[in-house]
Amino acid sequence: MSTKHVYFFGGGTADGDGKMKELLGGKGANLAEMSKIGIPVPPGFTITTEVCAAYYDQGKKIPNAAVPEIEAALKKVEAAFGKTFGEPADPLLVSVRSGAALSMPGMMNTILNLGLTDASAEGLAKKTGNPRFAYDSYRRLIDMFGSTAMGVEHELFEHEIHTLKHEKKVKLDTDLTTDDLKELVKRYKAVYKKAVGDDFPQDPRTQLMLSINAVFNSWNGNKAIQYRRIERITGLKGTAVNVQAMVFGNMGDSSGTGVAFTRDPNTGENVFYGDYLINAQGEDVVAGIRTPEPIAKLDSEMPKVYAQLMGIRQALEKHYTEMQDIEFTVQDGTLYMLQTRSGKRTGTAAVRIAVEMAKDGMIDETTAVMRVNPDSLNHLLQPQLDPKAKVEVVAQGIAASPGGASGIVLLSAEAVVAHAEKHPKDAIILVRKETSPEDVAGMDKAKGILTSTGGKASHAAVVARGWGKPCVVGCDAVRIDEAAQTVSIAGHVVKAGDFLTINGTTGDVMIGKVPTIDPTMTGDFGTLMTWADKSRKLKIRTNADTPADAAKAREFGAEGIGLCRTEHMFFTGADKAEKEARIASIREVILAETADARAAGLAKVLVFQKKDFIGLFAAMDGYPVTIRLLDPPLHEFLPKDDNPKGQEDAARDLGVSVERVRARNDELHEFNPMMGFRGCRLPIVYPEIGDMQVRAIIEAVIEVKRQGKSVLPEIMIPLIGTADELTILKKRAIVVAEDTMAKAGVKVEYQVGTMIELPRAALMAGPIAEEAEFFSFGTNDLTQMTFGVSRDDMNGFRAAYLKEKIWAVDPFESIDVAGVGQLIDLAIQKGRASRQAKHGQHLKVGICGEHGGDPESVFFFHKVGMDYVSCSPFRVPIARLAAAQAALGQKAEGNK
């Protein structure tokens, strides 16, 4: 631990700077940086995150060495601000603010007006000639200090102010007189004493030390832990504490407070964007209690302040070369900046800002590529509400986070969590008056969020934008009746469970469901992708089974198909008749009692498979297409015993008895299909199935070649565990392929390779690579088989494993680098070495599991030297960007 525990800032100097986020937290580091570059910041000091770690190490005690440093820094603040802490006649008041290295909106508690006591409240009243302000500040302190530092329920204080307003027959807090507020202070102190057991502390230093403790404690509060878990934030030391001289936005009509973004965080447009309130303090703007004014209006209300603010907006962007999210307060016409940080933004905005900044020469192209979080592209890839759909807009709120969402209405975060647990596929719209940090778990599970109060900087808006969820806030037409579990929207009554649609791009609210359309990749999005492509080494392919998916993926930049699952073709069809004919054809094969009957069925299957391959190959003209031979166990194609009607229909369609269908089902029944009669085990036993598939592939390639198109088919054999399986099946595939080409009189290129999805295959990669022309890691199965966990049977323990941190993340979402990754790395090295030694060839290696679209995993696949990753069509741009960042990240490290 460093010997310095406390860092001063203010008056144009600072002990720290903007780079010291780990130690000073984001807020503290940026307050120091702003002070250094001459931006007006009230003086203060930051207690480091190391002190927080030491606090926990010592059983929740502030280390002794830090205490005199705090005292010394406080002296410096007093000197810089010209007031003394604890001096009753003209007191220095401070705020105590949390701030970790990464911003965690609303997670930590801030205490304002600290240092006020009975005596100094009176002093402040006299000194400012504004007793109303003094007592308003005092009652707020008792509330904030009581509720955040001492665990008194905030509701108890709220109850007192409501009661008093009722007694005085007034509506607004601002209608309470000085005497009313003095009375309120008395009642708040009584509430405090009853809950805490002690009087509200009249010693400012006691208030200060208890508040610092409270900030440290909040680091391990439920809300903070939950947020870190959802955002996968690990490895931080703790939170810093910022103690800063108070400036007051609630001193009258020449004072105010606001929050703003230097550019529009929804769209990325280069306009000043935010809200402010006159005569207000702290969280009033974001709490959604009073509806704030748009920032542009400040130009007419306080032109000088506005001009200065515009100058600071520019200075900050230029200095940080990044869009900033700022907080400011105006005290009696003087502007103070209280915070700056990079602004959270939607994926759409992230792309636009990065591209525009690069075009303006503020940053270079590779910086622009590094600026956009690959996952945030999801936002641009979300379905949008179909503009052609006929909709009735029943109300309009503030467009807070773009995109359209339809879902069932639920009225509390708990209800969302409970519903999502039972019905994870249901889309839910969370409807609230406002949201708070307690709601994040429910917000995470909701598809969209609608609130009746709050502005663009409200909690709901900030969190939704961060997560790329459609959100509409401040929709006053929405009235929630929790007791009745209904929402009335401009006269329409919507019950919990009914469908509602919101458009976060326009602010529109609609009753019922609205159809959506697929996004396209144009404009700034396209530009950023071209820049990304210049850097990446990995090729990006797609997993696609239909020509439509293949075409979509091509639009998104896929460079081939890394996985076509042939079994999916039996469950689709151009129309109902074809769909029925397809499934019937494979059932005929499965139910056949003689080789001849099986051959007749296979001939029918071949027609469909060939047709599909031609479509896929044509869509992927010029690129490789990996076709996996039939993988699932055969019983998956038969109607089960719990579907007697399906069994009767199948028997009738195929002209066999229903008893035959049932008997075949019984024969094929497996206790553990994941490890059963599937993958390469099928063509080992029924070679004619594999033969038919190879023939269909080669005939399709020949057909496509005749159309003047070219494609490299890669015949992929699944679930190989031994080299012998591959030797047998490859020999057979070559015989069939050669025969097919000879019959057609056309030669085409093709390759035969394997999936690596069993731990044994990874270990035996050397001998397998002597046969295989390529490896494709099936990381879903490889993860299942390595962990011994079936993805479909982990509901009972998944949550517990994540909670206990046995799994930092679900290994099916992000590759388990330590374990499964080790097998992958080993298999690549062994396979490549063996292929090189035996054939003098480079072994092509890719991955086709769902991890191919996960940025963290893509980083790993780049590192171990894969040639490509393959992911679902809508993840292709995400994988392209992640691959570029992986390549750039490695370059940067290499340059150090």
781 binds, options Mg ion, ligand ADP, none, Cβ within 5 to 8 A by partner type: Mg ion
Alpha-carbon Rg of the chain, whole angstroms? 32
Nearer to Mg ion, 325 or 773 (CB): 325
Angle at 314 between CA 310 and CA 320, to 5 degrees: 140
* Ramachandran class of 24: left when φ > 0, alpha when ψ lies in -120 to 50, beta otherwise: alpha
Catalytic residue among 5, 379, 419, 459: 459
106 binds, options ligand ADP, Mg ion, none, Cβ within 5 to 8 A by partner type: ligand ADP
Nearer to ligand ADP, 282 or 347 (CB): 282
According to DSSP H, which parts of 436-498 are helical?
440-445, 459-467
354 binds, options Mg ion, ligand ADP, none, Cβ within 5 to 8 A by partner type: none
374 binds, options ligand ADP, Mg ion, none, Cβ within 5 to 8 A by partner type: none
C-beta separation of 557 from 881 below 8 A: no
Residue 32: count other Cβ atoms within 10 Å of its Cβ.
Answer: 27
725 binds, options Mg ion, ligand ADP, none, Cβ within 5 to 8 A by partner type: none
Q: How far apart are CA 124 and CA 129, in angstroms?
A: 8
> For residue 489, how far is the Cα from the chain centroid?
30
Residue type, 339: Q
Nearer to ligand ADP, 27 or 835 (CB): 27
3-class secondary structure, 98: strand
* N residues, the chain: 896
> What is the closest distance, in whole angstroms, from the C-beta atom of residue 258 to ligand ADP in the complex?
8
535 binds ligand ADP (CB under 6 A): no
Total residues interacting with ligand ADP, rule: CB under 6 A: 18
C-beta separation of 56 from 238 below 8 A: yes
User: What are the structure tokens assigned to 662, written together?
Assistant: 């049932």
> What is the closest distance, in whole angstroms, from the C-beta atom of residue 15 to ligand ADP in the complex?
18
Nearer to Mg ion, 771 or 781 (CB): 781
Give kind and range of the element (H or E) at residue 494: strand 492-495
Beta strands in 312-379 (DSSP E): 324-331, 334-342
| Binding residues for Mg ion (CB under 5 A) | 327, 339, 757, 778, 781
283 binds ligand ADP (CB under 6 A): yes
> What is the closest distance, in whole angstroms, from the C-beta atom of residue 879 to ligand ADP in the complex?
34
Angle at 717 between CA 614 and CA 638, to 5 degrees: 75
141 binds ligand ADP (CB under 6 A): no
Nearer to ligand ADP, 96 or 619 (CB): 96
Q: How far apart are CA 541 and CA 848, in angstroms?
A: 9
| Region near ligand ADP per CB under 6 A, out of 238-246, 307-315, 558-566, 824-832 | 238-246
Q: Which of 26, 91, 282, 633 binds ligand ADP (CB under 6 A)?
A: 282
Burial-class residue 858 by CB neighbours within 10 Å (0-12, 13-18, 19+).
buried
User: What are the structure tokens assigned to 613, written together?
Assistant: 């391959």
729 binds ligand ADP (CB under 6 A): no
> What is the closest distance, in whole angstroms, from the C-beta atom of residue 526 to Mg ion in the complex?
34
User: What are the structure tokens assigned to 185, written together?
Assistant: 């202070």
Q: From residue 656, how far is each of 588, 637, 641, 649 by CA, in Å?
A: 10, 16, 16, 10
CB-hemisphere CA count at 13 Å for 633? 14
282 binds, options ligand ADP, Mg ion, none, Cβ within 5 to 8 A by partner type: ligand ADP
Q: In this structure, what DSSP letter does residue 490 have?
A: T
Q: Which of 42, 507, 547, 853 binds ligand ADP (CB under 6 A)?
A: 42
> What is the closest distance, in whole angstroms, from the C-beta atom of residue 792 to Mg ion in the complex?
13
Burial-class residue 300 by CB neighbours within 10 Å (0-12, 13-18, 19+).
exposed
Give kind and range of the element (H or E) at residue 277: strand 273-278
For helices 347-359 and 523-535, what crossing angle results, to 10°?
70
In 3D space, the residue among 545, 542, 606 whose CA is nearest the CA of residue 571 turns out to be: 545
> What is the closest distance, in whole angstroms, from the C-beta atom of residue 104 to ligand ADP in the complex?
8
> What is the closest distance, in whole angstroms, from the C-beta atom of residue 84 to ligand ADP in the complex?
16
Q: Which of 49, 267, 339, 693 binds ligand ADP (CB under 6 A)?
A: 339
757 binds, options ligand ADP, Mg ion, none, Cβ within 5 to 8 A by partner type: Mg ion
437 binds ligand ADP (CB under 6 A): no
Task: Answer yes or no: 459 catalytic.
Answer: yes
Q: Which of 95, 250, 412, 609 binds ligand ADP (CB under 6 A)?
A: 95
257 binds ligand ADP (CB under 6 A): yes
> What is the closest distance, in whole angstroms, from the C-beta atom of residue 6 to ligand ADP in the complex?
17
| Region near ligand ADP per CB under 6 A, out of 137-145, 244-252, 447-455, 887-895 | 244-252
Rule CB under 6 A: which of 103-122 touch ligand ADP? 106, 108, 110, 112
| Region near ligand ADP per CB under 6 A, out of 102-110, 201-209, 831-839, 853-861 | 102-110
Nearer to ligand ADP, 80 or 748 (CB): 80
Nearer to ligand ADP, 110 or 453 (CB): 110
Residue 662: count other Cβ atoms within 10 Å of its Cβ.
Answer: 17
3-class secondary structure, 519: coil
Partners of 8 in the β-ladder: 45
Nearer to Mg ion, 73 or 848 (CB): 848
Catalytic residue among 52, 475, 564, 848: 848
Task: Answer yes or no: 848 catalytic.
Answer: yes
97 binds ligand ADP (CB under 6 A): yes
Nearer to Mg ion, 341 or 469 (CB): 341
3-state secondary structure 28-76: HHHHHHHHHCCCCCCCEEEECHHHHHHHHHCCCCCCCCHHHHHHHHHHH
Angle at 26 between CA 25 and CA 32, to 5 degrees: 90
> What is the closest distance, in whole angstroms, from the C-beta atom of residue 106 to ligand ADP in the complex?
5
> What is the closest distance, in whole angstroms, from the C-beta atom of residue 28 to ligand ADP in the complex?
10
Nearer to ligand ADP, 281 or 543 (CB): 281
Q: Which of 327, 559, 612, 781 binds ligand ADP (CB under 6 A)?
A: 327
> What is the closest distance, in whole angstroms, from the C-beta atom of residue 29 to ligand ADP in the complex?
14
Write the DSSP assignment of 547-559 as a string of letters: HHHHHHHHHTT--
Chain residues in the site for ligand ADP (CB under 6 A): 42, 95, 97, 106, 108, 110, 112, 244-247, 257, 282-283, 327, 329, 338-339
Active site residues: 459, 848
